[in-house]
Amino acid sequence: MSKKYLLGVDGGTEGLRAGIFDVLGTPLAFASTSYPTQFPAPSWAEQDPNDWWDALGKSVRIAISNSEISVDQIAAMAVDTTCCSVVALDDSGNPVRPALIWMDVRSAEQAEQMVATEDDALLINSNGSGPVSAEWMIPKALWIKQNEPENFDRAVTICEYQDYINLHLTGRLGASINNVSTRWHCDYSREGVPKSLLEKLDLAELAEKWPQDVFRLGELVGRLTPRAAGHLGLTPDLPVVQGGADAQIGMIGLGVVKPGNLALITGSSHLHLGLSEKPFHGTGIWGTYADALLPGLHTVEGGQTSTGSVINWLKNLFGESDYEALNLDASKLPPGSENLIVQEHFQGNRTPHTDPNSRGAFHGLTLKHGREHLFRAAIEGVAFGSELILESMRTNGFFPESIVVSGGATHSELWLQIHSDVSNLPLILTKNPDAPLLGCAILAAVGAEIYEDIPTAVEQMVQFDRVIEPNSQVNAEYQPFYEAYKASYVGLRNIRNNLEN
């Protein structure tokens, strides 16, 4: 029987999803299983890794059942997960404490300790000026050592959600180059593990607790053990292929595997990810990360903390059940929402300011403004924030020619056109909007040797749907509003500083 199907797994914040695809990237079936998050203290967020494993078994079994294919037809599987979900394991691979998931930022103090080292490994953090995100691996590991030394000592391994799953699938411990390059301050194009940084933090032993094997995306990690195969309802010895962080595997699912375009992954927040042939570091950006996605290429990253969440907040505030009426009414307004400006920093700013204390604002309000003005202005504010990230990238020598977009914003024609007009770039949509799961299927196809490499697999498995073209005249109309948006941050920062002091 021909093995012509691929299993992708996406371990997210609220649950785990599995999808079955054919070798051309056509989806057959999906299944999702949720798991809880515990918030034992402010800024803390924990999950039980055993819940991840249980959800994996349930989702895979349901997806296979819904696909109506035989398990013998599956050629390989690959997994992406949330990044910076840090797991401490004993010598049997069992957790010694709950995982500190990505949104857990209890280690803010430890992140500041990292910046104080002024180590060269911090160049990826806005060219060394920082800050370092408390979400990342090293601050969390340092927090465990400083606050739970008994758990740190018990932990034979400290790794990621990704590594925990692959260990229990194959019995082999390894890390994804994608995670270690983007969030562990490792650079395998040079020295690898940041030993100098760890020594300055009195954390040198962490290097021994990290997985010693590092796999590239699409590389074979191992094969399903009989125990894992029984849990998932699959055949033993099925190839398990290396995945990585959900958003970056989404780049592959969007076909962004060459320099020249940008992946924009939208949702409650936005991520902006591109590839460069040359390394560079600069203020206002994260990266570049060497070899994080493909050998010889460098990943540049930007992000907005609150985007879709702001639009959803407005919808709920207005008491609307959906976005249809709001989009329709807002589409009738001119660019600039009749001189109304929104700063979308409701949960701070990730890039280019990297200011967690910045806050959202509406300014220019008059009695004429209605909910349609607020709604459109909020969308424009999100688009301005994205354009400011692109401006920071261009300042540092990275010039995307187009944007491939996925996620919730693709359901709004108004948002798509506004964003294209503000940035004066075409927005490309793919036929399969589930970019992370498709990215995993692409990696599985490479690991199963169905395709020679990731770019070749992308050519066959990613289909583009349509292009939103910018209106250059509207782009010109947006310029004064964009300049007002940029000026808002400095003025509002001073106001907030005076208020809080």
What pLDDT score was predicted for residue 500? 67
Q: Name the average pLDDT for the chain.
A: 93
Same domain, 235 and 104: yes
Note the pLDDT tens digit of each residue in 298-307. Answer: 999 998 888 9
426 and 290 inside one domain: yes
Q: Which of 379, 365, 367, 362 shows the shortest CA–CA distance to 327?
A: 379
Among the listed residues 353, 361, 381, the one whose alpha carbon sits nearest the alpha carbon of residue 285: 353
pLDDT reported for residue 2: 64
Q: For position 434, what pLDDT does the model report? A: 85
Residue 250, in any domain of the structure: no
Tell me the pLDDT band of 494, cut-offs 50, 70 and 90: confident
Pairwise CA distance, residues 443 & 466, whole Å = 24
Counting the structural domains of the chain, the total is 2
Among 121-130, 439-448, 467-476, the minimum mean pLDDT is found in 121-130
If asked whether residues 233 and 292 sit together in one domain, one would say no
Can you tell me the mean pLDDT for 259-269? Answer: 88
Same domain? For 277 and 421 the reply is yes
Q: What is the pLDDT of residues 81-115, one digit of tens each?
A: 999 999 999 999 999 999 999 888 889 899 999 99
Q: Is 274 part of any domain?
A: yes
pLDDT-derived band of residue 450, with 50, 70 and 90 as boundaries?
very high
Q: Within this chain, do residues 68 and 171 fall inside the same structural domain, yes or no? A: yes
Task: Give the end of a domain, one of 216, 244, 272.
Answer: 244
Domain endpoint, select from 195, 224, 244: 244
Identify whether residues 64 and 25 lie together within a single domain: yes
Are 263 and 393 in the same domain? Answer: yes
Tell me whether residue 417 is in a domain: yes
Spatial contact of 265 and 250, defined as CB atoms under 8 Å apart: yes
Q: Are residues 422 and 496 in the same domain?
A: yes
Does pLDDT of 149 surpass 70? yes
The predicted model scores a pTM of: 0.89
The domain boundary residue, chosen from 244, 266, 300: 244
Q: Are 42 and 104 in contact (CB under 8 A)?
A: no
Of residues 106, 114, 144, the one with CA closest to residue 159: 144
pLDDT at 1: 43
Question: Domain of 471: which CATH number?
Answer: 3.30.420.40
- How far apart CA 83 and CA 246 sit, in angstroms, is 7
Do the domain assignments include residue 249?
A: no
Mean pLDDT of 324-340: 95
Q: How far apart are CA 249 and CA 12, in angstroms?
A: 12
Domain check: are 264 and 190 in the same one? Answer: no
Q: Do 204 and 277 fall within a single domain?
A: no
Tell me whether residue 172 is in a domain.
Answer: yes
The mean per-residue pLDDT over the stretch 282-306 comes to 90
Mean pLDDT of 112-122: 93
> What pLDDT sits at residue 58?
97
Q: Give the domain range for residue 291.
A: 255-501
Decide if pLDDT at 501 tops 70. Answer: no
Residue-by-residue DSSP string for 6-44 = EEEEEE-SSEEEEEEEETTS-EEEEEEEE---B--STT-
Q: In terms of domains, do 235 and 263 share one?
A: no
Q: Which of 244, 341, 253, 354 is nearest to 303 (CA)?
A: 354
Per the CB < 8 A criterion, the answer to whether 241 and 78 are in contact is yes
Mean pLDDT for the stretch of residues 217-246: 96
Confidence tier at 348 by pLDDT (50, 70, 90): confident
Please say if the pLDDT value at position 61 is more than 50: yes
H helix runs in 45-127, sequence order: 49-67, 108-117
Interval 179-208: pLDDT, tens: 999 999 998 877 789 999 999 999 999 999
Question: Which range is most confident: 117-126, 152-161, 345-354?
Answer: 152-161
Q: Is 390 a residue whose pLDDT tops 60?
A: yes
Report the SS3 class of residue 472.
Answer: helix
Is residue 356 within 8 A of residue 348, CB to CB? The reply is yes
326/239 same-domain check: no
